[in-house]
Structure 1
């Protein structure tokens, strides 16, 4: 298929513009941006052994951006980027297990609406919604985190809720070395080690930085579920107790090299590697009251997985044609290998044994033992090439360029089943199972995105305006039991304008306004034309590879005020008008279960033909799919303050607080609701107090996430998280050593979920319950002791 003509023409024009005549280049040479040579690198010992409290600072970016250095978070000893982001304004983690922070959400919108970058580059991740799990990156690899609240033409437009840029430590920014060693103690008395080391020095004609990190990933939790006939909770029908242990280890490394080339050039290369080996072990005990029988079920489960994230990028910047040109290339991959097993050992006894205890009655009879197994492999690779050129144009700067990116996602799911012939039997290995089926998919995307942007900076007023034209060519192939179900191609293109304005109302006050159009591409599972039997209650589901992307026109209006020398307080209002929203719709085709029912009626002679069977047994379950259905709206505000209490004489005390409130509107198959899994609010409040004469510090933070609601076909859920209290105490020894004790989740926060479950849409409308379930999980407090030594 031919490349989109408009994109190709615009890209060619941008390349030509980069080679303007030498006479024009000479006239602008004196105004060209400098080569960006670095000053003296920052000493790592000042980062590791902090003598002062670190605060959020204002940035010089025209687009609204919040920047948080690692020092801002470090006193609380975060293990991962997720641990860092939980303290940032507007960041939620609805859906994550208690005390885990993986699928990050800005403005309460799902992971697919939030763009996650590493060193400004896109990275593939585990989520079907294209999200990247931020707990895969250790905190020790990070220099700072940028929260980009609105879009700019020189960045990918798939950041409807905003973008999070994780900037790893750079060789030109740091010099020196340090070691970090520590232990974690969990609520079940498990003790795990952690180790990290970073060094940076002159080498190979430039500067080199290398870091390694090894830390155990451990979490033990308990879960309780109680199930009732309906939401009145008057009649309990079953309950379940579960213990879960996630035990594994992360190995990670990062490398950065930078060197000046000639008078104006700089070459840099950076890379990272993260490997996660983790074994998830679950043991559940269920008890169900079924008429005059008590059914006891022991459910052992195991889910070992091996995941790898790695990427490498290279960039060369140099002066050319009266401006500054940059050429970069990057490649990143995500690989996942899992083998999940779950069994059911079922025993039946009389109703008098219904006693809500974790034990199988002595007179219970063995009914069956069945096991299911899944083998999951996934590979996701992205490769990008970028060419940009920036040059003075009158009193402004002109920047233009083109991004080319390819993505390939391969997935394979193989299912197995096993059934015992007598009590006590269990499968010894996967070889004992029978093959149940396999599903494979390949999704390929190619993008060519040219852009152009003008900007100007002044003492009182700064601005930027640009256009980005994003083109996407996608191909989806789906295979079931090694038979191809066909290959579908889909092309779509979007013109994404953006304007960012900033007014300085003096030295202390600043106003920002941003208007931008953004895009969200469909989730992978929404694109696959795979028929999923009974996916939503009794209803089936099939993906739709013809889906168009969602788009949004957005507005951000912010105000910031400088408090003294170090403090900042800010408030930001945002609005997103979402078009072509993707929701579940009824195809009008009866489910496979209904079709099987009608066939059986005809075979048994209960119906003359299909019309007669349908008349006697009208369809109550259907085949659903995803479709672009209409519009949605998201709006709210974000407040944050970070300041020392110098005004009241407490120069060595710093406070940190933020609060975000969000609301949204979506029309689905039942009417109006919020965006799924959008917490109504999230806030953090904390302080750090430094004791300079003792070389010590202590502090605490409290975080609370508001309720979130989700409604899909056949199920509705309310998700509620308890408040989290974290504290630390630190002692410094000279300028090179610090010892820090931190404690997390001291209030033993729980995650509570309330599920309304239905078999069909009509049952959901009539509130005719299949089941009502209450589920709660807890993990207990954890403690960490860490020593840092800089040298």
Structure 2
């Protein structure tokens, strides 16, 4: 099997070697076969050493990223601190973007929503310490400095949850350091000459008891100020398909600027009450404020001289309490109680001049919203490891949240007449209950089996202050899960994994809420498919996915890996936003409205390939200065089919055709300093998506090049580590366009409506310093 894998991947290896491209070096597992080129051979006599002194070697007893991945029955990838710090990323998404099958939805160089296997819209489950994050929390609010490691599960498990059609990303927060009391990090950066600054401090605590470890903890804070500049370059055109005559064309050219200020903090405190009982407390807070303004001139449209200001504030407070009880070896009980509150306020004011029927009027639209949410959760879990190599885990989870949203939209000081009936207050309640059990069984070194069962029920009710009736949505899913790991006896460095699972995606609150959002370009009268209003659908049902995952892994002597995987998801009750012409209550004219709807079935499939190896694993006689060079390459190809849509572009919403990464990392010594450097190239090909039978969307290819240079000054323990990072070295514009046809019911003429948007991207440079003392 290993020969087959190496034969299949040899062209890729040669190509990467020729280009000298790779990514982050893997952690080396503490295996006896590990090769350490820098150390003298074990068989060499002591006399061969210049001064007959043994080299000092530090051995870590904790599990490494490779051992966590290799020994897991479920297929997963583990990213540790070294990988998180390597490129100096300040946004978590940029760390994940370099992994196989992970893409981002934002502008290159600035992070964005995280999509595993290209699936957006909630298909990727995000966890923090194996728990769903509190309401209102955004992953972008959590800086990489506060993360210990990231675990990525390609297939769901009963313990981590099955709301993960694409996969699960579990973020493990920083553990207390044992050898340092303080850790300080500071960074300065520039994004198109706009300043960026952030700083973090971690205080590690340890005292009490005979061994000084009765109380252990860490307190971390992070603050950041970032300014951003964006261009405004968009437009739309309406053409008579029969004559080719352009009926209407609009363009908007201008700029927007924003500033984001954030302050985050958390603490992890553990009290070792006895040898069998630990008590933990984890408070956290996330505060952010975003201010911005934009202005642009319009040509050929009824809307001119647009200027807008916006301000958004968000605070999130959370407290988690937990107890871990281990009455005997191999058995444990854990109980977790969490409570939190959040508030999100937004205010925007838009001023423009509208021309309609030869008359120009000044128009001011003010939008205000306040969202308050309280959430409480209670989780319990029992784990038992038996002498027959069974690992049983059984647990239950309960969660309740209440949310109140107040929204006001005023045009020239008066509310929009069409929205009055919806009221300005929406109160929702969400209750979730889950129960699960799972067993991992390793009857031999060659085989490991996993079987799990999870039941989950979610009930959402919503009541508006207007004339709308209360709505109630209930989803219940039972998910059986199976994983198999096989290590062939004839090929001890190879592993085969197979998973058969059932997962689902529950509708989020914004999908269920029925209050509409009016398009600001065409706020009244007829609009177009490309400028549709948005509204919810309280009758949505959850997506159900039956999945199969198959992967092959070949491990190299010092921790390198060659792996290939394939996945398949058959989805029923697919949730997708559809644009349809509706007779609406908020306007006298018919309007195009985008609503999420269950629209039948779909199939998602793909292939993922990963290669990473040190140079000495590929070239036995490599020069000493190249032996520690690490090469990396990964690629993913996705294929989708939404039944009921024509053509070859009937893809899942905004899902790319694939992703590719190549890179190189190297370490060397010069001038008495230790240096590290690396380069990474990321490519996501262009995508065409058939949204409906008459509406199509195109997204241009994305190319991003990143590089870093790191060095250390001072002593190993008390020195300063410096890192110069450059993201999006060769900026390229990102373009998004769509076109759709519609039939005028009065004139029976068909019209083609086109829209486009060109977003500039910018080079991001940062210099970071960190030290421990």
Compute the TM-score of the two structures, normalised by the length of structure 2: 0.80
TM-aligned CA distance change 1:208 to 1:541, over 3 Å: closer
For residues 216-258 of structure 1, what are the alpha-carbon distances to aligned partners after superposition, in whole Å with 9 as ceiling and x for unaligned? Answer: 2322122322433359999682322121212121211121112
In the alignment, structure 2 segments of 5+ residues that lack a partner are: 1-63, 209-213, 519-525
Match of 1:787 among 751, 765, 769: 769
Residue in structure 2 matched with residue 281 of structure 1 by the alignment: 293
1:633 to 586, 596, 603: 603
**Is 1:680–2:657 an aligned residue pair?**
yes
1:337-736 to 2 correspondences below 5 Å: 337-345=345-353, 367-392=360-385, 395=388, 396-418=390-412, 433-436=413-416, 437=420, 438-457=423-442, 458-479=444-465, 483-505=466-488, 506-530=491-515, 537=529, 543-583=536-576, 590-591=583-584, 596=588, 626-646=596-616, 647-648=618-619, 649=622, 650-667=626-643, 673-693=650-670, 694-712=673-691, 715-734=695-714, 735=716, 736=719
Q: In the alignment, is residue 85 of structure 1 matched against residue 96 of structure 2?
A: yes
Q: Distance in 2 between matches of 1:544 and 1:417?
A: 26
CA distance in 2, matches of 1:223, 1:623: 24
Displacement after TM superposition at 1:489 (Å)? 2.6
The answer on 1:330 being equivalent to 2:312 is no
Of 715, 734, 738, which residue of structure 1 is paired with 2:721?
738
CA deviations over 1:702-721 (Å, ceiling 9, x no partner):
11222334454675321224
Are 2:653 and 2:689, in contact at CA under 8 Å, matched by a contact in 1? yes
Separation in 1, partners of 2:573, 2:181: 52
Equivalents in 1 of 2:708, 2:119: separation in Å? 31
1:517 deviates by 0.7
Which of 67, 87, 97 matches 1:76?
Answer: 87
Distance 1:697 1:624 in 2: 49
- The reply to whether residue 67 of structure 1 matches residue 47 of structure 2 is no
Residue in 2 aligned with 1:223? 232
Is the CA contact 1:585–1:669 (under 8 Å) kept in the aligned structure 2? no
Aligned position for 1:153: 158
Counterparts of 1:173 and 1:758, CA distance in 2? 64
Rate the CA distance shift 1:392–1:485 in 2: closer, same or farther, 3 A: same
Partners of 1:514 and 1:590 in 2: CA distance: 47
Alpha-carbon deviation of 1:468? 0.9
Quote the Cα distance in structure 2 between the aligned partners of 1:593 and 1:530.
Answer: 10
> Where does residue 760 of structure 2 map in the other structure?
778
Q: Distance in 1 between matches of 2:730 and 2:545?
A: 39
The 1:535–1:151 alpha-carbon spacing in structure 2 relative to 1, beyond 3 Å, is farther
C-alpha distance 524-670 of structure 1, shift in aligned 2 (>3 A): farther
Q: Is it true that 1:209 corresponds to 2:221 in the alignment?
A: no
Give the direction of change, closer, same or farther, for the CA distance of 1:241–1:200 in structure 2 (3 Å limit).
Answer: same
Aligned-partner SS, 1:82: helix
- Alignment partners' CA distance in 2, 1:593 and 1:340: 21
What's the Cα RMSD here? 3.2
Between stretches 526-535 and 137-146, larger displacement belongs to: 526-535
Q: Offset at 1:397?
A: 2.8
Look up the match of 1:352: none
Aligned residue number for residue 27 of structure 1: none
Query: How many angstroms apart in 1 are the aligned matches of 2:738 and 2:686?
Result: 14
The answer for the alignment partner of 2:266 in structure 1 is: 254
Distance 1:585 1:732 in 2: 54
Distance 1:628 1:367, change over 3 A: closer
Aligned residue for 2:119, secondary structure, equals coil
What displacement does 1:393 show? 5.1
Specify the alignment match of 2:112 in structure 1: 102
- For the residue of structure 1 that corresponds to 2:663, the secondary structure is strand
Q: Closer, same or farther in 2 for the Cα pair 1:163/1:231, shift >3 Å? A: farther
1:502-549 Cα offsets, whole Å, 9 max, x none, are: 112344211111111111111323322446677874987764323221
Kindly report which structure 2 residues correspond to 1:134-153, keeping only aligned pairs within 5 A, or say none: 134-153=139-158
The partner residue of 1:303 within 307, 310, 320 is 310
SS at structure 1 position matched to 2:771? strand
Displacement after TM superposition at 1:83 (Å): 2.2
Would the aligned equivalents of 1:231 and 1:772 in 2 still touch at CA under 8 Å?
no
**CA–CA distance in structure 1, aligned partners of residues 703 and 579 of structure 2:** 39
- Matched with 2:196 is 192
Query: Cα offset for 1:175?
Result: 4.3
The number of residues matched between the two structures is 669
Change (3 A) 1:768 1:726: same
Matched residue SS, 1:673 = coil
Q: Counterparts of 1:168 and 1:706 in 2: how far apart (Å)? A: 33
- The 1:160–1:721 alpha-carbon spacing in structure 2 relative to 1, beyond 3 Å, is same
Is the contact made by 1:676 and 1:708 (CA closer than 8 Å) also made in structure 2? no
Name 2:13's counterpart in structure 1: none
Indicate if the aligned counterparts of 1:455 and 1:465 stay in contact, CA closer than 8 A: yes
Shift of 1:626: 4.8
Q: Is the 8 A contact 1:477 1:484 kept in 2?
A: no
* Residues 749/313 of structure 1: CA separation in 2 closer, same or farther (3 Å cut): farther
The Cα shift of 1:167 comes to 0.9
**Corresponding residue SS for 2:175:** coil
Q: Is the 8 A contact 2:190 2:766 kept in 1?
A: yes
C-alpha distance in structure 2 between counterparts of 1:184 and 1:558, whole Å = 40
Deviations 1:577-602 (A, max 9, x none): 111223467999745599x57xxxxx
